[in-house]
Amino acid sequence: MQEFTYPYKYPKNYKGSGVPTTLSTIDEVPKTFTPIEINNLILKNRIVVSPMCQYSCKNNSGLMNDWHLIHYSNFAKGGAALIIFESTAVQQEGRISYADAGVWDDCHIPSMRKIIDSIHSFDTCVGIQLSHAGRKASTQPPFLENSRQSIPENDPSGNGWKVVGPSPIRYNDNMSMPREMSVEDIHNTIQAFKDAAIRSLKAGFDFIEIHAAHGYLINQFLSPTSNKRTDQYGGNFVNRIRILLEIIESVRSVWPRNKALGVRLSCEEWTNDGWNMEDTIHLVEILNQLGTIDLIDCSSGGNSSNQKINVSPMYQTPFANSIKSIINTPLRTSGGSSSSSSSTESGDSRTKNQIKVSTVGLITSGNEIESILQDGKADIVMVGRQFLRNPFSVYQFANDLNVKIDYQLQYYLAQRK
Ligand SMILES: Cc1cc2nc3c(=O)[nH]c(=O)nc-3n(C[C@H](O)[C@H](O)[C@H](O)COP(=O)(O)O)c2cc1C
């Protein structure tokens, strides 16, 4: 535990918010409350706050402020193992809205560092989701009027701009037609991801997640429905995944090898002609061979306005399950033997350096989380809206599972007896 600057020391038997109490014997501890390593990052439990845009930055600045400080610190106080900051734009034109958070300039570092320091003081890890919205940029925050249509670049509010994408294909009739990116634009965006990673390192993040899901720029390149290019960034599968691989390579070139790097994928576009699970598996096999990614975050949808999704509890977990079985298949090396390194988790076939897999989507109870982990369908579980309803959801999950965890010390009287 890190020490606060309080006029006392933590009691000796205090393990920290979100960690089973010393009274819990090992046998009693559900997998949900066991630690896990992602690369060198040690999470105290398996519960992660999924990235969620707050659309709360003032004056088109992209600067995080006290809203973000309070919002994120609450989840840390409540014992989440890792908090992934919202989709954060690597270029100004890559924001979903004018109120998005940004990391396109060094001026963004200090305000993020203040929040990171606060989160770390609760022994919670913190990541940033690096993002570019592409053709889905330049909109109103979704909770305001007219949020389902683009703000045109010449809007008198000054809150709109010209959007870009792989091809001049708009998301739907209410959204702006994107300008097709030139190869130079693509290279600039790859460089912007790299610069954003350098800033993320300076700010003190433990983890970077590259946002390649939900129909934003990278996802637009991956999918044959939004990418009709005829150059090296479009056409066949290899060309469509090129931008993602180049972004990963450029981010990894500045993000130390021992720091965790993840990618969020929309595993399925939920249309007949879009990116599908077969494509995802093919991509994950390539990522697995490359060995530069530590976490695959399995989401879905968002790239097609005619997607058909049947939403139900844990509906995206089958994607994570399939990806885990790919990753668990031993890698073939040139000598024909499987890769090996020492196992870090007893009873688990996984190895320390193996890619970890997360699931997300309508997961709201400790029993659901535990069943996912027990069945080996994912290594960690991300939770979104349940944390908005109750920032102390980790305490609720512990109650669901009948396990005693430490609460934030000052709240000890609220602890379940
Ligand atoms: C308010 C809100 C903002 C979101 N913003 C992002 C985001 O910035 N990046 C992202 O990848 N997903 C975003 N999502 C999706 C969540 O991360 C999550 O995948 C989704 O809500 C499903 O999980 P849940 O059922 O636990 O909420 C957002 C969801 C919500 C509710």
Q: Where are the domains of the chain?
A: 26-330+358-414
Strands (E), 237-383: 260-266, 295-299, 356-359, 380-383
DSSP 412: G
User: How do the residues of the chain divide into helix, strand and coil, expressed in percent and rounded to 5?
Assistant: 35, 15, 50
For residue 121 the two structure tokens come to 């003081």
Q: How far apart are CA 47 and CA 206, in angstroms?
A: 16
Residues flanking ligand 1, CB < 6 Å:
50-53, 86-87, 129, 211, 213-214, 264, 299, 360-363, 383-386
Which residue type is seen at 209? Answer: E
Strands (E), 39-124: 41-43, 47-49, 82-89, 101-102
Q: How far apart are CA 160 and CA 281, in angstroms?
A: 37
Nearest residue to 132 via CA among 180, 161, 164, 176: 164
Q: How far apart are CA 240 and CA 26, in angstroms?
A: 47
Q: Cα–chain-centroid distance for residue 290?
A: 20
Q: How far apart are CA 281 and CA 285, in angstroms?
A: 6
**41-43 vs 36-38, strand pairing mode:** antiparallel
Distance 349 CA to ligand 1 centre (A): 30
Instruction: Identify which of 47, 52, 295 to mutate to test ligand 1's pocket (most ligand atoms within 8 A of the CB).
Output: 52
Which residue type is seen at 140? Answer: Q
Protein residue with least CA distance to atom 3, ligand 1: 52
For residue 118 the two structure tokens come to 């606060």
Structure-token match 């997360």, residue found: 358
- Residue 25: per-residue pLDDT: 63
- Residue 24: per-residue pLDDT: 67
Structure-token match 């995080």, residue found: 64
Distance 60 CA to ligand 1 centre (A): 22
Instruction: Identify which of 47, 48, 53 to mutate to test ligand 1's pocket (most ligand atoms within 8 A of the CB).
Output: 53
Instruction: Identify which of 47, 48, 50 to mutate to test ligand 1's pocket (most ligand atoms within 8 A of the CB).
Output: 50
Q: In sequence order, which residues have a C-beta less than 8 Å from that of residue 68 and are 6 or more positions away?
A: 54, 56, 85, 101, 111, 115
- Residue 22: per-residue pLDDT: 76
- Residue 335: per-residue pLDDT: 42
CATH code that applies to domain 26-330+358-414 = 3.20.20.70
Atom from ligand 1 closest to the CA of residue 264: 11
Distance 6 CA to ligand 1 centre (A): 35
- Residue 1: per-residue pLDDT: 53
Q: In sequence order, which residues have a C-beta less than 8 Å from that of residue 349 and are 6 or more positions away?
A: 328, 343
For residue 265 the two structure tokens come to 């994928």
What tens-digit pLDDT sequence spans the chain (417 residues)?
Answer: 555 567 888 888 999 999 999 776 667 799 999 999 999 999 999 999 999 999 999 999 999 999 999 999 999 999 999 999 999 999 999 999 999 999 999 999 999 999 999 999 999 999 999 999 999 999 999 999 989 899 999 999 999 999 999 999 999 999 999 999 999 999 999 999 999 999 999 999 999 999 999 999 999 999 999 999 999 999 999 999 999 999 999 999 999 999 999 999 999 999 999 999 999 999 999 999 999 999 999 999 999 999 999 999 999 999 999 999 999 887 655 444 343 333 334 334 445 579 999 999 999 999 999 999 999 999 999 999 999 999 999 999 999 999 999 999 999 999 876
